[in-house]
Amino acid sequence: MRRWSGWLLACWPLLGLADDSLAEVMRRLAAVPAVEGTFREEKTLAALEQPLVATGMLSYRAPSFLRKRTLAPQPEDYEADGDWLTVETPTTGRKQFDLNGYPQLRPLVEAIRATQAGDRATLERYYRLEFEGTPAAWSLRLMPVAPEAANYLSAIIVRGQDGRIASMETLEPDGDRSLMTIRLASPP
């Protein structure tokens, strides 16, 4: 016990620095009113030999608008605005979902939307946060709080620089994963 208490006392100042850095990153992200850019998403599935690659456009407008428009290999449109998610695909058409009625969808939407909004309170409602780095180059690991969410999601790792998100990696319990890299149209 004495060994652990000594280690904890030695690391205590570092824990405060990580929290200060996370708070600064959240402030920088919250200061960005809107961003637009392109994305490339690579999904690695155990059932497939080659990863699935999709490309498209991302748009965010404070405080709660997020749109992911996939252009290739086939068009898909996901738009979250407030409590509503609109999904449009060539096969299913256009559908709207009240995120309050779909607890499995909301954490996925909030992982990127609340991060870009710098909304730490919302992130902590759905995830346990682990922050590494500095405000200039950071990594935020989101682990689901709800046990049912852990059935389909192990973690989401958001990486960024200053007030922008550079990538988002989603890890699933079965080993499947996706990595979305984001290139902004213009720096915030």
- What's residue 187's pLDDT? 52
Total-model pTM: 0.85
Task: Give CA angle at 70 (61, 47), nearest 5°.
Answer: 125
CA atoms within 13 A on the CB side of 120: 15
Centroid of chain to Cα 187: 19
In a domain, 118, yes or no: yes
- What's residue 82's pLDDT? 94
| CA 171 – CA 108 distance, rounded (Å) | 12
- What's residue 18's pLDDT? 61
Range of the domain at 173: 19-184
In a domain, 81, yes or no: yes
- What's residue 12's pLDDT? 41
Decide: helix, strand or coil at residue 114.
helix
Task: Give CA angle at 36 (84, 176), nearest 5°.
Answer: 65
- What's residue 15's pLDDT? 45
In a domain, 149, yes or no: yes
* pLDDT < 70 stretches in the chain: 1-18, 186-188
Return the CATH number at 104. Answer: 2.50.20.10
- What's residue 8's pLDDT? 42
Per-residue pLDDT reduced to its tens digit, 63-73? 999 999 999 99
Per-residue pLDDT reduced to its tens digit, 14-48? 444 567 999 999 999 999 999 999 999 999 998 88
- How many structural domains comprise the chain? 1
Nearest-CA neighbor of 66 among 92, 107, 98, 34?
A: 34
- What's residue 7's pLDDT? 45
